[in-house]
Structure 1
């Protein structure tokens, strides 16, 4: 079945017009009503839409809305656009939702009260819109553990009635795991691009601690390498798949349950589909090492790039001379209006000088020669590459990995846990070392992990997140399961 065999042709029209931002908020309020009410009464929904419109800080283009709705104002008896009330606007929006088939209006059984129902495709689209707005609350689910548990249920002796359900759950969680890993990899790339566009050290710190640490590191990456370690469950899952493959009687019972639930057309096609799903699960976990190594490599590269760029920006010349040079370098690429603004603000003008000949001799125009220019030999300085290497080494030595590790060892002492408010922050160097130490969380070569807490610490004129530095210990829980 094709998409537009299910979804009406005018369905996406409300999301492409001038009031699309308003309609997104209206649909999210419709979702709230769908979640809370068994029957959505039309009058109550109109009141909810009116309250939503009144609370929105987004201006509503009423004339465009009436034009899109192809309605006559006199037919709706709502007056001029300037005098339309929130209630009338809510009625108009509900009518648009009905005409574009986002909702359906019907009468309640044994009553003349109108109720609003939402078709399944509308529910799916509204949930999709809601999920986009909830990026900051999305967390990684234990997909590897769920796959392992479902396959274990298939092989248990007391789950005869749930064989098909358990196998389908394992297949679904395996696909969700693969999607989650790919999303994680793309997220790291996205933050890497944001890092490339950052022009201030404060922007890097904000994107790292408030964005990357929360959305990527804490919610997805950290669970993948600790409590739901994919590599921990890899071998047990592959072993259980081999057992199911070799047990033909078990596979027949699974297909029989699938036929009973009308998931298969016949036993032969059911056995083929089951074999395909088992192969996909096995193949996913067999090749998952390469994907995990790519994620680890990208995570390490992002952390290193963040530290390197922050060190560069901290040592970058921020004098007026440098900023003026940046303005002049970018001036040529501006359009005429922006050039006019810059010229009027900075008073750029041409420099000239007067000498003893300027008052008497007219300057002669130079005619460009057609002869090719002579080759100019540029004298090479002695040992230029060595000087450059020495300069880079001197900059990198300021905040090298060894400097950061030595600083944290001094702060830890014999303790297993150190809080950020306990660290000795006395100058800019110790402050930067502390920040760089927190950004190295998750690297294999560090001897500690970092747990970010709520709130900030203000100490000696510096402000930084509340954190807990925990010394790593050998964790026996990461050993593969039998």
Structure 2
């Protein structure tokens, strides 16, 4: 259905006229009267318009309006013109009651628009939503003591509450973006502070963010909600009973259609609760942090940019805060500002973190090379050519191999300490590229004459054959 098939074509024309403020106030009076009484007589609406819009009716010019001269003459006639105009444009209808009085009836589209307009005019922050807790409560009660009909109704309630929650989260996200835009137009520190603490703090943080973190918390109720829904989705008999109840309520043509619709809603709610934190809550938290950081930076910029006493004082206090030894600066400022240094003791008062000084380039230090000591050189040469040198180890391994290509550690004689040391050095030297043999560990150990060595296999390298 198209929009103007659901509402009259000229429904919004009063709100586009020069007297749109007067018509908007008249619609708000109509909304209040509609809320107060089930049956609203026309004369009571007329009295409410006169009493609440007396000054606006007196100041209105009604240029270009189809108002009669008799109606334009006084406030009573102007109030009756408002009733006639709003009725002609489709905001309400009239019917005659059994007592021959005219009664006001408000169509469905008009009542919804009136409620919306009244909420937009209401500057008080929203309170009292409990979509997550309402979903949890409905599912828990139905799961514990509910019939198939109550469980079916709980699924539809969970679906509606989750949709409302997502709409609320979108509203909060875009509302924070709106405060970003408003902040660009503020050029006073007091206005920025008032916008953040009074408007943003009360209408966003206290109204929406705080309940979502404490009372209507998604992380708190997500697991119980998903558990109940998953248990119902896996119970075929329970699903059949719920589908039968939904068919009786005419929520679908056949039981299969009702069953498929219930499963679709169950899976959709589960998926939403799986993604709510990542897709919505984390994004909102990041947006709030960005707005807080932007407000703080703007306050700092506005304060430091002001060319008055406050701006100068901010610069002075900033310099004092950056100076560890501000005694001299405080003494120089004391004739201008009544500033006095105050100190206090804390757990770190007796300890200061050492700050490295700036290193300066010093002259190069020359290192004198001493002549090689002949005794040290001889000692080094003796170690290299000792009985435990590389050559001695290689010769010992060649003696173990003999004409064979391989030998095991069990073939090595372990008669004294020298044989034991040479076997260990042979194993260690086998990993060298210059060694003429290679060592393969076989696991375990070999014990002989009180000596224990690992069980290995020595083999010649191919290029050494």
- TMscore range, shorter length: 0.5 to 0.7
Per-residue CA deviation, residues 129-186 of structure 1 (Å, 9 max, x unaligned), is 0111124231251211111112223322334442232222111111111111111111
1:5 maps to 5
Task: Supply the distance in 2 between the matched residues of 1:396 and 1:25 (Cα, whole angstroms).
Answer: 55
Note if contact 1:21-1:58 (Cα within 8 Å) is conserved in structure 2.
no
1:53 maps to 53
1:104 paired to 2:93: yes
Query: Cα offset for 1:30?
Result: 0.9
Note if contact 2:93-2:105 (Cα within 8 Å) is conserved in structure 1.
yes
Distance 1:397 1:254, change over 3 A: farther
Task: Supply the distance in 2 between the matched residues of 1:175 and 1:130 (Cα, whole angstroms).
Answer: 23
TM-score (norm 1): 0.61
1:284 maps to 272
Task: Supply the distance in 1 between the matched residues of 2:320 and 2:114 (Cα, whole angstroms).
Answer: 53
Instruction: Choose the corresponding residue for 2:287, options 287, 290, 298.
Output: 298
Task: Supply the distance in 2 between the matched residues of 1:172 and 1:237 (Cα, whole angstroms).
Answer: 14
Matched residue SS, 2:63:
helix
Distance 1:311 1:396, change over 3 A: farther
Task: Supply the distance in 2 between the matched residues of 1:185 and 1:32 (Cα, whole angstroms).
Answer: 31
Note if contact 2:86-2:92 (Cα within 8 Å) is conserved in structure 1.
yes
1:91 paired to 2:80: yes
Task: Supply the distance in 2 between the matched residues of 1:243 and 1:202 (Cα, whole angstroms).
Answer: 55
Gaps of 5+ in 2: 323-337, 343-465
Task: Supply the distance in 1 between the matched residues of 2:277 and 2:140 (Cα, whole angstroms).
Answer: 22
Number of corresponding residues? 320
Distance 1:200 1:267, change over 3 A: same
1:24 maps to 24
1:139 maps to 127
1:118 paired to 2:106: yes
Alignment of 1:152-163 (within 5 A): 152-163=140-151
Note if contact 1:164-1:254 (Cα within 8 Å) is conserved in structure 2.
yes
Matched residue SS, 1:137:
coil
Matched residue SS, 2:124:
helix
Task: Supply the distance in 1 between the matched residues of 2:239 and 2:319 (Cα, whole angstroms).
Answer: 60
1:166 maps to 154
Query: Cα offset for 1:205?
Result: 0.8
1:224 paired to 2:212: yes
2:252 maps to 264
Task: Supply the distance in 2 between the matched residues of 1:297 and 1:144 (Cα, whole angstroms).
Answer: 22
Matched residue SS, 1:11:
coil
Matched residue SS, 1:18:
coil
Gaps of 5+ in 1: 323-391, 400-425, 431-482
Alignment of 1:34-433 (within 5 A): 34-56=34-56, 59-66=59-66, 73=68, 77-78=70-71, 81=72, 84-109=73-98, 111-139=99-127, 141-290=129-278, 291-318=280-307
Query: Cα offset for 1:105?
Result: 0.9
Give the number of the structure with larger relative contact order, counting CA–CA contacts within 8 Å between residues 6 or more apart: 1
> Which entry has the higher C-alpha Rg, 1 or 2?
2
Note if contact 1:244-1:251 (Cα within 8 Å) is conserved in structure 2.
yes
Task: Supply the distance in 2 between the matched residues of 1:167 and 1:134 (Cα, whole angstroms).
Answer: 33
Query: Cα offset for 1:95?
Result: 0.8
Query: Cα offset for 1:22?
Result: 0.9
